[in-house]
Amino acid sequence: MKSLMLFALILGLSCTSCGEDDAIPRLACGPDIKIVDVIVDPTGDDFQLLEARITDLCLQVTIEATGCSSQGWRMELHTLGEVAESQPTQTSARLIFDDGVPAGDFTCQAQIVETYTFDLSPYLTPQTLPTRFSLDGSDAPLDIE
Looking at domain 28-144, which CATH architecture does it have? Sandwich (2.60)
Per DSSP bridges, beta strands 34-35 and 48-55 are unpaired
Nearest to 49 by CA among 33, 26, 65: 65
Q: Grade residue 5 by pLDDT with cuts at 50, 70 and 90.
A: very low
DSSP class of 127: G
Collapse the DSSP code of 23 into the 3-class scheme (helix H, G, I; strand E, B; otherwise coil) and give the result.
coil
Q: Any idea where the domains of the chain sit in the sequence? A: 28-144
* Per-residue pLDDT tens digits for 27-73: 568 899 999 888 776 667 889 999 999 998 999 999 999 998 888 89
> Half-sphere exposure (CA, 13 Å, Cβ side) for 3?
0
Residue range 67-115, pLDDT digits in tens: 988 888 999 999 998 889 888 999 999 999 999 888 878 888 899 999 9
Distance from the Cα of residue 55 to its chain's centroid: 10
